[in-house]
A and B are shown apart, each in its own frame.
Chain A
């Protein structure tokens, strides 16, 4: 009698958890279907259909078009070159930071990461001011050489594109390889030397195998970011060079939807392969880092007690790191300085700022700047809230403790969620935008509700990062804590409220701010989807890039930099930024 009553109560407890998990799974799958999978299916459908019905005709034509093939090749090549260059610069810098201890080290590493979180338009405008035709570097060069020759041309050149990509992604290599260096147990190196193995061989056999996976996984990330580069190539490529991403946009702009969709399919396939490879390598490198306590022996950064050879090599390292720091900051500082330089002598240095905070519309913008600010902040806030909710649900489904109680395996629907969230990671922002456009532009209310789709694209782009932030925090919770809590009588809800939530709170804050920052600067999907009143600051700045004075756009950019830097400061205050997906 008693037993049967209690049996019901166990079922109830099990049910309430099952109910929460099922509801989460339904919410996640509905979201992914509506804003990702159905639009993606629509892209495939569009790629494989033509006026004469369905078939591979347009697809093959697009794929075999020499122009497209050439730029598919270019997309791969520039991504490869950008990645190699990032590695050549980033690896030594990473090693330097892992090896030496000095005051302000963490601050410098954090500051070096800022370019990565900047919106791409900021990079563009910063590069224009620094390296452009009339940019500072060239002006300086012309003054020094007393000629009218320029040192560097970034408009319409490969070097411009690659330089911008290196600027943007260098910190990925630096940040992700530092822990790998630090994880190498110095005692292993000592043991190796007592076994009579030389330094070179020790590096090859002991050190390199342990940092290899971190190098590969960070390289794959840089590759995927540069492979899908949009704003930078669209502007700096200047109709000489295209990435697949730009080609897809151009096709869309010319209303050649089938062609654009075909290119999107090709891009999606390549991205998926790289992401899967990345996930495999990532798992390996995580396994290798597990259970390590001792790390690399660090040295204080000092010249004391060193022979002249070491002093020279150390000085060269410091100069090298210093140059990298300048390279990473010059464009940002240039923007801010430029925003205060009047168009003509005698004008107010604050003219740009006064312009952006007036109601009047600046040509060639489609709407006034106050509205741009409003849209940007509103989209970012809403996107951050939605991303957070969905990411918390994802974490709960992926880490459902009750799965381990029974049979030690996950239910099919829980595994499904873990696979369903991989493909969005492999989808570029233009493809996301294109899918949403193709699927929903037929609706009557589409043009008035386009803001929903802009926000949803931002959500999809930031979810991998937010989920990662929360998951990292959640994984630190000892499962036994939850076991103890339930045997102390705490209900599922109480365990969440009193144990899980307080322990992942920082991850949630970091994830939320990160999502906000990503949305703030998102360019591709917004550029494709936004119409007039729904444009954001990024789009506004981009539209102003070609105008006579850069004072207004640099002022807008400076405000955006300020907000981004503030977000980044807060992220570092509450935790650590997750560059990984």
Chain B
């Protein structure tokens, strides 16, 4: 249980820098989700922290200790790679005791630790089985138990849900969250799936181009994404990149894939995208003109979420090929929208358009 500081880290693969000037701080005891597309260098970063790959440059600091030159053996890091690689020739119990024997614990201590971690990870019934005899989700719990048994300084999880079928993902994610909180071990959790970061993270760090681009709680990042790409990675609805921007006489003309949007104020900073929250739309019954409103015309395509009163619908945009809105509406508005399988008009207040 340490705080981790990574300074100025870089790594080359086949002569190309895939991690460059990398900086990251992980708070003691937190679960930090590192979010990035496949191939952005996340796995390499984990391997560098675990000591399996040597970086080109930079330092890794646990608390105040520089461990950049430590062997994997000395780092005491719990490394759980993407595929649940359990030692196939050992029973679950032997898998867990492997690391404890390496750390030269006594037989009694080993037994104690196994009982402790088996209870936390709920694998008591699996101890006597071979890896080939248990399911994917169980393997992941065993891999977790094996890594945690040595009471590591830091837990590294590489896409732990990627090989789990859809139905088991959420429960395993919450299990990981619970175990992490119970043990209080500082954890770096790598994934390309923003849903997972929403489920379990204390903070989320977004990575591309070999660097961390933004870090903060999911709510912070959602509310103020630093740029269009981050909003996109976070899976925000209704975000579009800005192609160009013209400002004159107290108004701005923003060009986006959904058309030209006029905003009644001058934009003074550089913007990369716009976002219109699904709740900002108003469905208008009759085709009417309203100067103050931004107007879109589309056709309802499907309903994606609903309870008794509130719905989220998908509206295909008429004038922009393949672009669509997600729109929140109530029952009454939905009736208007779906009754007349015809074009419907959406209004948005310019002040509701969020600049990214």
User: A residues touching B (Cβ–Cβ < 8 Å)?
Assistant: 2-3, 6-7, 9-10, 13-14, 405-406, 408, 478, 480-481, 483-491, 494, 498-499, 502-503
Which of A6, A10, A405, A491 contacts B102, CB < 8 Å?
A491
**B54, A481: Cβ atoms under 8 Å?**
no
The list of the 6 closest CB pairs from A to B, nearest first, reads A488-B99, A489-B102, A487-B79, A486-B72, A13-B71, A490-B102
A3-B65, A6-B67 as given contacts; A483 in contact with B102, CB under 8 Å: no
What per-residue 1/0 map shows which CB atoms of B190-222 lie under 8 Å from chain A?
Answer: 000000000000000000000000000000000
**B76, A489: Cβ atoms under 8 Å?**
yes
Contacts of A490 in B (CB 8 A): 73, 98-99, 102
Q: Bound complex: CA of A478 vs CA of B52, how far in Å?
A: 14
Closest B residue by C-beta to A490:
B102
Contacts of A478 in B (CB 8 A): 83, 85
Which of B47, B70, B103 contacts A6, CB < 8 Å?
B70
**B102, A2: Cβ atoms under 8 Å?**
no
**B54, A405: Cβ atoms under 8 Å?**
yes
What per-residue 1/0 map shows which CB atoms of B20-61 lie under 8 Å from chain A?
Answer: 000000000000000000000000000100111110000000
Counting chain B CB atoms within 10 Å of each CB, which of A13, A491, A503 scores highest? A13
Q: How far is the CB of A291 from chain B (nearest CB, A)?
A: 15
Contacts of B81 in A (CB 8 A): 480, 483-484
Contacts of B66 in A (CB 8 A): 2-3
Q: How far is the CB of A241 from chain B (nearest CB, A)?
A: 53
**A9, B74: Cβ atoms under 8 Å?**
yes
Contacts of A483 in B (CB 8 A): 47, 50, 52, 72, 79, 81
Q: How far is the CB of A142 from chain B (nearest CB, A)?
A: 60
Q: How far is the CB of A479 from chain B (nearest CB, A)?
A: 9
Closest B residue by C-beta to A4:
B69
Q: Bound complex: CA of A486 vs CA of B78, how far in Å?
A: 10
Q: Bound complex: CA of A478 vs CA of B101, how far in Å?
A: 22
Whether a CB of chain A sits under 8 angstroms from the CB of B139 is: no
A9-B74, A10-B74 as given contacts; A494 in contact with B102, CB under 8 Å: yes
Whether a CB of chain A sits under 8 angstroms from the CB of B250 is: no
Contacts of B14 in A (CB 8 A): 408
**A489, B99: Cβ atoms under 8 Å?**
yes
Whether a CB of chain A sits under 8 angstroms from the CB of B169 is: no
Q: Bound complex: CA of A17 vs CA of B51, how far in Å?
A: 15
Q: Bound complex: CA of A26 vs CA of B98, how far in Å?
A: 32
**B52, A487: Cβ atoms under 8 Å?**
yes
Counting chain A CB atoms within 10 Å of each CB, which of B89, B146, B147 scores highest? B89
Closest B residue by C-beta to A495:
B102
A480-B83, A489-B99, A489-B150 as given contacts; A2 in contact with B65, CB under 8 Å: yes
Whether a CB of chain A sits under 8 angstroms from the CB of B116 is: no
**B102, A406: Cβ atoms under 8 Å?**
no
**B83, A488: Cβ atoms under 8 Å?**
no
Whether a CB of chain A sits under 8 angstroms from the CB of B265 is: no
Closest B residue by C-beta to A477:
B88
Q: Bound complex: CA of A485 vs CA of B100, how far in Å?
A: 11
What per-residue 1/0 map shows which CB atoms of B74-104 lie under 8 Å from chain A?
Answer: 1111111111010111000000001101110
Contacts of A480 in B (CB 8 A): 81-83, 85
**B71, A488: Cβ atoms under 8 Å?**
no
Q: How far is the CB of A537 from chain B (nearest CB, A)?
A: 38
Chain B residues with a Cβ closer than 8 Å to the other chain, count: 38
**A13, B73: Cβ atoms under 8 Å?**
yes
Q: Could you pull out 27 A-B pairs where Cβ atoms are within 8 angstroms?
A: A6-B69, A6-B74, A7-B69, A9-B70, A10-B70, A10-B74, A405-B54, A480-B81, A480-B83, A480-B85, A483-B52, A485-B102, A486-B71, A487-B51, A487-B52, A488-B98, A488-B99, A488-B146, A488-B150, A489-B76, A489-B99, A489-B150, A490-B73, A490-B102, A491-B73, A499-B87, A503-B88
Q: How far is the CB of A322 from chain B (nearest CB, A)?
A: 39
CB-based A-B contact count at 8 angstroms? 90
Q: How far is the CB of B73 from chain A (nearest CB, A)?
A: 5
Contacts of B99 in A (CB 8 A): 488-490
Q: Bound complex: CA of A486 vs CA of B72, how far in Å?
A: 6
Closest A residue by C-beta to B77:
A487
Q: Bound complex: CA of A490 vs CA of B69, how far in Å?
A: 17
Which residues of B in the span 97-116 have a Cβ within 8 Å of any Cβ on A?
98-99, 101-103
A480-B83, A498-B98 as given contacts; A486 in contact with B73, CB under 8 Å: yes
Closest B residue by C-beta to A409:
B14
Q: Bound complex: CA of A480 vs CA of B147, how far in Å?
A: 13
Q: Bound complex: CA of A558 vs CA of B88, how far in Å?
A: 41
**A487, B70: Cβ atoms under 8 Å?**
no
Closest B residue by C-beta to A503:
B89
Q: Bound complex: CA of A502 vs CA of B98, how far in Å?
A: 14
Which residues of B in the span 133-181 have a Cβ within 8 Å of any Cβ on A?
146-147, 150
Contacts of B101 in A (CB 8 A): 494
Q: How far is the CB of B19 from chain A (nearest CB, A)?
A: 14
Q: Bound complex: CA of A408 vs CA of B13, how far in Å?
A: 8
Contacts of A503 in B (CB 8 A): 88-89
**A3, B52: Cβ atoms under 8 Å?**
no
Q: Bound complex: CA of A408 vs CA of B71, how far in Å?
A: 17
**B53, A405: Cβ atoms under 8 Å?**
yes
Q: How far is the CB of A345 from chain B (nearest CB, A)?
A: 60
Q: Bound complex: CA of A478 vs CA of B85, how far in Å?
A: 8
Contacts of B87 in A (CB 8 A): 481, 485, 498-499
Q: How far is the CB of B107 from chain A (nearest CB, A)?
A: 17
A9-B70, A13-B73, A405-B53 as given contacts; A487 in contact with B65, CB under 8 Å: no
Q: How far is the CB of A38 from chain B (nearest CB, A)?
A: 38
Q: Bound complex: CA of A13 vs CA of B70, how far in Å?
A: 10
Q: How far is the CB of B14 from chain A (nearest CB, A)?
A: 7
Q: How far is the CB of A382 from chain B (nearest CB, A)?
A: 30
Q: How far is the CB of B40 from chain A (nearest CB, A)?
A: 18
**A9, B53: Cβ atoms under 8 Å?**
no
Q: How far is the CB of B17 from chain A (nearest CB, A)?
A: 14
A405-B54, A408-B13, A503-B88 as given contacts; A487 in contact with B72, CB under 8 Å: yes
Contacts of B85 in A (CB 8 A): 478, 480-481, 484
Contacts of A3 in B (CB 8 A): 65-66, 69
Counting chain B CB atoms within 10 Å of each CB, which of A7, A406, A484, A499 scores highest? A484
- Beyond the given A405-B53, A487-B52, A503-B89, please list 17 additional residue pairs across the A-B interface where CB-CB is below 8 A: A9-B70, A10-B69, A13-B71, A13-B73, A408-B13, A480-B85, A484-B79, A485-B102, A486-B51, A486-B71, A487-B75, A488-B146, A488-B147, A489-B102, A498-B87, A498-B98, A502-B89
Q: Bound complex: CA of A406 vs CA of B89, how far in Å?
A: 29
Contacts of B98 in A (CB 8 A): 485, 488, 490, 498
Counting chain A CB atoms within 10 Å of each CB, which of B47, B54, B82, B98 scores highest? B98
Contacts of B71 in A (CB 8 A): 9-10, 13-14, 486
Q: Bound complex: CA of A521 vs CA of B71, how far in Å?
A: 48
Q: Bound complex: CA of A415 vs CA of B349, how far in Å?
A: 68
Contacts of B72 in A (CB 8 A): 483, 486-487
Q: Bound complex: CA of A484 vs CA of B98, how far in Å?
A: 10
Contacts of B150 in A (CB 8 A): 488-489
Closest A residue by C-beta to B99:
A488
Q: Bound complex: CA of A502 vs CA of B88, how far in Å?
A: 10
Contacts of B83 in A (CB 8 A): 478, 480
**A489, B73: Cβ atoms under 8 Å?**
yes
Q: Bound complex: CA of A408 vs CA of B74, how far in Å?
A: 22
**A406, B54: Cβ atoms under 8 Å?**
yes
Contacts of A14 in B (CB 8 A): 71
Q: Bound complex: CA of A478 vs CA of B131, how far in Å?
A: 14
Closest A residue by C-beta to B68:
A3
Q: How far is the CB of A97 from chain B (nearest CB, A)?
A: 28
Closest B residue by C-beta to A489:
B102
Contacts of B53 in A (CB 8 A): 405
A6-B67, A9-B70, A481-B87 as given contacts; A405 in contact with B13, CB under 8 Å: no
Closest A residue by C-beta to B104:
A489
Q: Bound complex: CA of A226 vs CA of B54, how far in Å?
A: 49
Closest B residue by C-beta to A3:
B66
Which of A7, A405, A489 contacts B103, CB < 8 Å?
A489
Q: How far is the CB of B252 from chain A (nearest CB, A)?
A: 50
